[in-house]
Amino acid sequence: MTNRLTLDGGSHKTLLGLSAAELEQWAVAEGQPAFRGRQLHDWLYTKGARSFEAITVLPKRWRHSLEQRGISLGRLQELDRSIATDSTTKLLLATADGETIEAVGIPTEQRLTVCVSSQVGCPMACRFCATGKEGLQRSLFTHEIVDQVLSIGEAMNRRPSHVVFMGMGEPLLNSEAVLAAIHCLNHELGIGQRRITVSTVGVVNALPTLAELALKRLGRAQFTLAVSLHAPNQELRERLIPTARAYPFDSLLDDCRHYLELTGRRVSFEYILLGELNDHPKHAEELADRVGGFQSHVNLIAYNPIDEENFQRPTRLRIENFRSVLERRGVAVSLRASRGLDQNAACGQLRRQHAAIG
């Protein structure tokens, strides 16, 4: 069996993240018939069981034995819930070792997108991000990522259709668990790879490695790669993203081209518009020069304010002017609708509020 029977704190074994075949194999190793593994799979991924006690179809003696040996399903505990007027739902979830992470459900009539975290905190220290103010505690295990999708689906009583790795953390610093989670979401929850997006601010040498790992682990890399630029040049990017000092703009774009060559999948570029800082038409012109002719797409995002920084949300006029410049230059561009603004939508804010109260 592949070692996705993950370990928390060195000894806490969990089942969430395992496939039906792996659960069957594990059940047989436990002295149970193979169909017990299929029952576990159904209760884990379809019926929302959070403990062995809830899975009444399993023999009581076996359930008791599993609990005594420290084996769990791997579900996280909901500590807090914030619901905005547009129904965007943010959950604060506790891990087995007492850490906290955020997951967000973003609904429309046609879809439910779940924004998941890949780490507890983040080491990238982007100035406009609340999560980066706390630093990194650790990376998440596969089951902790998968649970976020299940928890949002349960909280909103709706099946998630899309997943974006745009929550807490830098996914490329936890690529093994992220890819294992994508495999699980794809095969066990039926969420197609093309409906999954992995967002990165850029880690030196990580993009080609991600492509190779994805082809090896998933067979094909069909998920969308979203690279956070947030500036049209190296100087401004370093002011916003301190880690960019180690990763020159041109090198990042070269790695994006290499990723495209390896996977055949176009790259999406994320650009947070900060009022009066990176939202001038000249910035749009410069950005068009850098990504023009590239098989890519630019996704514009209006900044969600946080208390620790004085960045401003751009005006509607400046947003539209920036977008128009890119369109005139032939760059594929879209504007991400802001959601949950009345409930502190910026990543990491609910976690920080809970820590302050605690």
Catalytic residue ranges: 102, 347
Q: DSSP assignment, residue 21?
A: H
- Sheet arrangement for strand 71-72: 7-8, 12-14, 71-72
Closest CA to 117 of 192, 178, 50, 207: 178
CA-based nearest residue to 71, from 95, 52, 55, 56 = 52
Q: What percent of the residues of the chain are helix, what percent strand, and what percent coil, each to the nearest 5?
A: 40, 20, 40
Type of residue found at 126: C
**DSSP letters for 95-160:** -TTS-EEEEEEEE-SS-EEEE--SEEE-SS--TT-SGGGG-EEEEPPHHHHHHHHHHHHHHHTS--
At 78, list the tokens.
């909901």
**Residue 90: what are its φ and ψ, rounded to 5°?**
-110, 130
Structure tokens given for 40: 């576990």
Structure tokens at 313: 């949300």
3 burial via Cβ count (<10 Å: 0-12, 13-18, 19+): exposed
- Closest to 209 (Cα-Cα) out of 241, 243, 245, 179: 179
Residues contacting 125, CB < 8 A, separation 6+: 132, 133, 135, 241, 242, 243
The beta strand positions in 251-310, using DSSP E, are 267-273, 296-302
CA pair distance 198, 206, nearest whole angstrom: 13
**Residues 126/177, Cβ–Cβ less than 8 Å:** no
